[in-house]
Amino acid sequence: MTSLAVHADQRAEGVPLVLLHAFPLDSTMWQQVVSRLPGIPVVTIDAPGFGGSAPREHASLEDYAREVVVTVRELGADQAVVAGLSMGGYVAMAIAEAAPGILAGIGLLSTKASADAEPAREKRLAMAAAAERAEPDLAVGMLQGLLGDTSRQHRPELVEQVRERLRTAPAAGICWAQRSMAARPDRLAALAALAGVPALVLRGAQDALMSDGDACAMGTALGVEVVELAGAGHLAALEEPDAVAAALAQLYARSVG
């Protein structure tokens, strides 16, 4: 039995579409997208230390991935379409490696398959240590990188919403996630091994954190074209929920038929 906070429409039946959120947000980042997916049994999950999920002592994306797989089985499903944005994508790729058979389809949004270079890893561990010392407003500096120019220039209410999410990001979650992400390996081979599993690779053209090359490498491994959203940055699900929901609905239809 997993103790992750799982948010699902109890009436929904069939193969679930599991959505995994970005760092340092929680499952509510998917609200706009979920409301645009009527008729699809969507399940959103809070990562350890975020939203309604308790922190875990051991920092591991792989453990979280295993818990997501257990959650799918607890929902009574043999398979799921799993889509994750950024950190959520790292977890979807950990599932691809550990339990590929559970994937009816995979969606990788604003993410990358490569591991961190040493300086990025050190930065993550420093942020985790600062979170442990309960330093305030640790994540607020991420704002600039999370939204594209279009959102930052023309959508002040979205900028404020994201700033508030960053300001209130939980220290225990920051700590768990940064240590977990610092330890993740390259997972391009796991994607290439998925051969034939329906896939979506999506990026915002204004994403300052994940490059076109990152997306192309995943697309090539999975045998799909990258879907690029011109008006979005990193948090594409918040910036362009219509286009993200449409891409996920298409992935779901290809995966479940």
Instruction: Give the footprint of ligand MLT on this chain (CB under 6 A).
Output: 22-23, 86-87, 181, 209, 234
Give me 198's structure tokens.
Answer: 């329906």
Distance separating alpha carbons of residues 54 and 48, to the nearest angstrom: 6
CB of 9 to ligand MLT, least distance (A): 25
CB of 88 to ligand MLT, least distance (A): 7
Q: Is the peptide bond before 24 cis (omega within 30 degrees of 0)?
A: yes
Q: Report whether 82 contacts 13 (CB < 8 A).
A: no
DSSP 135-174: -TTTTGGGHHHHS-HHHHHH-HHHHHHHHHHHHT--HHHH
Closest CB to ligand MLT belongs to which residue? 86
Closer residue to ligand MLT, CB minimum distance, 179 or 234: 234
Q: Nearest distance from residue 178's CB to ligand MLT, in Å? A: 8
Q: Which is nearer to ligand MLT, 77 or 142 (CB)?
A: 142
* Cα–Cα distance list, 169 to 10, 61, 110, 147 (Å): 28, 18, 20, 17
Name the residue nearer to ligand MLT (CB basis): 104 or 165.
Answer: 165
* Residue 26: DSSP 8-state: -
Shortest separation between residue 210's beta carbon and ligand MLT, angstroms: 8
**CA separation, residue 11 to residues 6, 90, 93, 206 (Å):** 14, 29, 28, 38
Please identify, using beta-carbon distances, which residue of 181 and 251 lies nearer to ligand MLT: 181
Nearer to ligand MLT (CB atom), residue 33 or residue 40:
33
Residue 257 Cβ vs ligand MLT, minimum distance, rounded to whole Å: 31
Residue with Cβ nearer ligand MLT (15 or 190): 190
> What is the distance between the alpha carbons of residues 183 and 185, in angstroms, rounded to a whole number?
7
Nearer to ligand MLT, 94 or 209 (CB): 209
Q: Return the ∠ at Cα 244 (arms to 209 and 163), rounded to 5°.
A: 50
Least gap, CB of 86 to ligand MLT (angstroms): 3
| Those residues with Cβ within 8 angstroms of residue 73's Cβ, 6 or more apart along the chain or in another chain | none
Question: In terms of Cα–Cα distance, which of 49, 67, 72 is closest to 169?
Answer: 49
- In the complex, minimum distance from the CB of residue 12 to ligand MLT, in angstroms, rounded to a whole number: 26
